[in-house]
Each structure stands twice: as structure tokens, then as C-alpha cells.
A and B are shown apart, each in its own frame.
Chain A
Amino acid sequence: MKQIQRLIACVLAGSVSFAGFMTSAQAALISTETVAASQGVPGVADARGKVYAALDRAEVMQALVARGVDPDHVRARVAALTDAEAAIVAAQIESAPAGGNDVLGVVLFVFVLLLITDILGFTKIFPFTRSVR
């Protein structure tokens, strides 16, 4: 399984960087994104540069597919992200807030909260808890 993942990553990284090279060879105009980055506009460029941006995009594509996103859709999704956004998503895909409003999460939340208050001695809801002395 890991070998397949590595193969997918290599193919994605290769095709992403190839596409980037093609674009820069044909487009003689300096892109707005490049100028904005040099002007210090936040949230545009990958702080570590263009090469890492390509790697971050490939990593995000792989990470999204691994998390259930349809592989046919993933390229278009990542293409819509700026380099900076791709870098952030690559780094924080597990930890970043993912708004969902999860009913089960509410139940779990209440359960854990009451467990804590039981342990702290503010409540006595569960028979199996022992409060801190």
C-alpha cells in the first residue's frame, strides 16, 4: 500500500512540476502572483519558494485522495488554491479546523464534558468516575 502511495506521489509531483515548467516557458509575462509575492502581499506565495509550492500541491492532492476525495476531482480542487494555501493545507490537513457541525460530536462533547466535571467533583453523573480529592 505504501509503495502505491509513493508511486502516486511521484507521478503527481512529476506532472505538476512539468505543467509548471511548460507554463513558464510559454508565458513570457511575469505573472501577477509572482509580482504580488515580491511585493509582500500575504497569502499568495509559498514561504519556501516555487519548488516547494509544487511539492506542496502534490502532497495536498495525495492527502486529499487518502482522505476520501474523488481522484478525478482532486487536481481541479488543488489548482484553485494559491501556493500559500496549498502549503498551509499540506502542513495542517489533519489539524486545521474542518467545519462540519457533527451531531455525534455534540453528544461526544457533552459526554466528555460531564466526565471532566465528574472527575473534578462538580458533578456526579457517572457511577464509574472517582473525583480528584
Chain B
Amino acid sequence: MGCVAFVPAQTAGLRERVPAGLPVRSELAETPFFPQTEFHCGPAALASALGAVGVEVSPETLGAQIFVPARRGTLQAEMLAGARRHGAVAVLLPGELEALLREIAAGRPVVILQNLGLSFLPLWHYAVIVGYDLERGDVVLRSGTTRRALMSLRTFEHTWARSEHWAFVAVQPGQLPHTASEAAVTQALVAFERVATPAQALRGYEAASTRWPANLSLAIGRGNTLHANGAKEAAMQVFEAAARQHRSAAAWINLGSVALELGQHERADAAARDALAIGGEWTGQAHALRERVLAAARAVVR
């Protein structure tokens, strides 16, 4: 294990000075609590996090969706997927204690994975951080069968570091965590789109593309979900803006496809030619679009 400091680095930093704008203490007392059943700390923690954003689902229901019997536990990817399936966006947080505390101060409980044992004898456990007190030097967890489990910041950081500082918040579509990075939010929304309703996915992309207007993936997501919601003119506007802003062949192709659906053949043809002019990895799809435009034009003539 090498040389492990008694007081781990992030805790030491927090002891030295309280980060600007962070309250000394905060606790989300109204976060729901579900005492875990055997091996089911994952479903219990997830039920708690979802309940906190108004999604009421029992640990039993979640267990059937995320628990792996032979592993006697829940895998991290399935925790995230479980949140998605119930209409919440699961966003991974930066691996910093300060980020976790800021989310709590902003009213969001955080689901974490910690190794309560040692690296060679692990005891993996999911819990929800609902509070902290920098003066007392501890965090408050919904953990196991304990509604308010206090753990020193030092011990928390040791046990959390072993999971490579894995933590996520579940948010309503359209809400964005305070501390999550652009990449993490984009990843979360793209994953969410797989299983969310078009309306939910759109709310997510609208909020995120407002915060990060230069992000092509979010713009495409917004355009695609507008289209899925039946707002085809709005989708075309988003695709055109993205195509020009990023010189994106993919955006031109999607613009052309939607234009074709609406019978706007000239616009579709222009978009196809713009996509072909850019070339690159989307050349195949650009050619396919051009073919469809020509076929549609021939059909009209006949």
C-alpha cells in the first residue's frame, strides 16, 4: 500500500482553510432513509438519492434492476443505469472532497462507493452523504441500517479513495450539479438519452447547452431530442447553428435529414452538399443523404 498518510491530503487541505463560499456545516435532514437489507446497500443508497429528487421507488424494485446475486452486490455502472431508468440523470462528480461538500451545501445528497476494508481485503459499500461539519471534522451518511452515521473526514477520505473517489449525484432532467465537469454532464446526458423519454432528454440537453453553448455533442443531443419530440423546425434551427459554429458535417447531415422529412428538398440538398464539402468521417452518411434527396426529387417529378 506504500506510504499512506495518517491524515489524507484532501482532509488536510480542508483543515487548513475552509474553501471560499463553503458553509462550515450543512445537513440535508429531509433526505429519505431506507435501511438496507442483506447485501443491498446499492439499492438502498439509490432509493435514497432518487427519493431526494422526488422519484419514489423502493429498494426492492431497484434491487431487481441493479443487484447481482452471485456478486452479492451492485456494480457501479448499474447504479448509474438504475438512476437513468427512473428518469434521473446520474452525473459523476470530480474526485474531490470539496466537490462533495459543495453539492451538499447546494442541497444535493451524494452517493459514494467506499471500501470499508483494506485494498487486499475489500468490503465495498455504497452510502449517501447527506451532511458534513468542518468544525467537528466529520461527514453524515445514510449508511447501512443507520440513518445518521457519522464518520470522520479522515476515515471517509481513506475509504473513499480506494474506490478511486467514485461519487455521483442524481438530478432531475434540466438540473445541473454545481461541481460536475462539462465532460461528465455530457456523458451523463448521452447515457440518459438511451432510456429517457424524449421530453426528459430534451430538458437535460437544453439546460446543459445553455451552460456550455460551445459543446457540439450537447447541441446535437438537443437537435435530436427536439426532433424526437416532434419539434422539427426547432431541430433544424439547432442543427444549422451547430453546423455553422463547428463546421460539423454531422450537424449538416441531420439538418438535411429533417429538411427532407418536411419536404424541403432544396434545403436538404444544400445541407448534403455542405456535408460532402467538409468530408471526413461522415462522408458515407453525407452521400447516403444526397442519394435520398435525389430519390425524393425524382419521386416528386414523377
Interface residues of A (CB under 8 A from B): 28-36, 38-39, 41-44, 64, 66-70, 73, 76-77, 79-82, 85, 88-89, 93-94, 96-103, 105-106, 109, 112-113
Q: How far is the CA of A19 from the CA of B167 in the complex (A)?
A: 33
B271, CB-defined interface residue at 8 Å: no
Q: Which among B74, B77, B187 has the highest number of chain A CB atoms within 10 Å?
A: B77
Distance between B268 CB and nearest chain A CB, rounded to angstroms: 11
A102 touches B70 (CB 8 A): no
Q: A29-B224, A70-B64, A101-B126 are in contact. List 8 more A-B contacts (CB 8 A).
A: A32-B193, A43-B187, A67-B71, A79-B195, A93-B71, A102-B123, A112-B121, A113-B121
Chain B residues proximal to chain A, CB less than 8 Å: 36, 38-42, 45, 64-66, 68-82, 84-85, 113, 115-118, 121-126, 144, 163, 183, 186-187, 190-191, 193-195, 216-217, 220-221, 224-225, 227, 248, 250, 253-254, 257-258, 260-261, 281-282, 285, 289, 292
Q: Which residues of A contact B118 (CB under 8 A)?
A: 113
Contacts of A67 in B (CB 8 A): 68-71
Q: Give the docked Cα–Cα distance between A30 and B253 (Å).
A: 8
A39 to B124, CA, bound (A): 34
| Between-chain CB contacts (< 8 Å), 5 pairs | A35-B220, A35-B248, A41-B183, A102-B38, A106-B123
Closest approach, in angstroms, between the C-beta of A115 and any C-beta of chain B? Answer: 11
CB of A82 within 8 A of CB of B190, answer yes
In the complex, the answer to whether A44 meets B125 with C-beta atoms within 8 Å is: no
- With a cutoff of 8 Å between Cβ atoms, the chain A residues found around residue B71 in the complex are 67, 93-94, 98, 100
How distant is A129 from chain B, measured CB to nearest CB, in Å?
A: 17
Separation of A111 and B39 alpha carbons in the complex (Å): 20
- Report how far A125 CA is from B144 CA in the complex, Å: 30
CA of A103 to CA of B190 in the docked complex: distance in angstroms?
A: 37
Q: In the complex, what residues of A have CB within 8 A of residue B190's CB?
A: 32-33, 36, 41, 44, 82
Pick from A44, A66, A99, A113: contact of B73, CB below 8 A: A99
Known pairs A41-B187, A97-B163, A109-B117; A32 contacts B224 (CB<8 A)? yes
Complex CA distance for A42 and B190, rounded to whole angstroms: 11
A87 and B115 CA atoms in complex are apart in Å by 24
Cβ contact within 8 Å between B77 and A105: no
Interface centre among B72, B126, B183, B289 (most CB of A within 10 A): B72
Please indicate the chain A residues that have their CB under 8 angstroms from the CB of B227 in the complex: 29
How close is B197's CB to chain A, nearest CB, in angstroms? 14
Q: Which residues of A contact B195 (CB under 8 A)?
A: 79-80
Chain B residues near A102: list those with CB within 8 A. Answer: 38-39, 72-73, 123
For residue A86, which residue of chain B has the nearest CB? Answer: B77
Name the one of A31, A77, A93, A100 contacting B65, with C-beta atoms under 8 angstroms: A77
Shortest Cβ distance from residue B205 to the other chain A in the assembled complex, whole angstroms:
8
Knowing A44-B191, A80-B85, A80-B194, the reply to whether A100 touches B217 (Cβ < 8 A) is no
